[in-house]
Amino acid sequence: MLRLLYLLSLVFMNNANTSRVIGGNYASPGQFPYQVALQLNGRHHCGGAIISETAILTAAHCTINQSPQSMMVIAGTTDIQDTDGIRIQPSRFINHPQYSSQTNDYDISIIQLSQPLPIGNNIKPINMVDVNDNFDADTIGTLSGWGAIDSNLQLPTKLKYAKIQLWSRDYCNPQNIPGITDRMICAGHPSGQISACQGDSGGPLTVNEKLAGVVSWGFGCGAAGRPAMYTFVGTFRPWIKQTVGV
């Protein structure tokens, strides 16, 4: 089981009687045209974001030790059970060479597709933040994905999204969160009622309509006072540019 999802599952088992619903709203068709779902052996596995017609950005823990032949990318739909989505098999996974499953650092991966996506109203690449971009504390971002919505780890078939705030380095630092690095950012609702959860891994966190983060790891779904950690996309712009030219 993925490291992030394992940690989230432990918290759910410890809080099974709370039935906490992870907040958010259902997305409208075309609202998040960059969003994709990743299926592994026919089951929902992770999320991702379109950065070019042939490249998807996701988390390395979603692709490490997996075979492209066992995964399918679904784009252009808000309901992964509908037939209106485009399904394309990956041709290659490019995990960051410094990714560590022990520390969760450098948790970023590029999925190269076996054929180009048909760009249109429901399928569009998203621009990414720049390497020098910084965000003030409490900046509002948008999280989207098909992750679990309750303590039973129920996975929705329809895409959900939520507004969450970025946390400052005054709290999100190694002293308060062991394991966090400069390549990560924190985001979440202080009450814990809105959060990334199982199945959201690898999915996008956007700020000002640009891809700022990739869902990486955390301490639980909706844990009060505990944000989730996201791989900061800006840090990896040179690597992404060198790898796929965007």
| Catalytic machinery residues | 61, 107, 201
Report H helices in 60-172: 60-63
Contact at 8 Å (CB) between 147 and 22? yes
The conformational region for residue 29 under phi > 0 = left, psi -120 to 50 = alpha, else beta, is beta
Q: How far apart are CA 12 and CA 46, in angstroms?
A: 19
Q: How far apart are CA 45 and CA 1, in angstroms?
A: 10
Amino acid in the structure at residue 209 = E
Q: How far is CA 32 from CA 13, 52, 204, in A?
A: 32, 15, 10
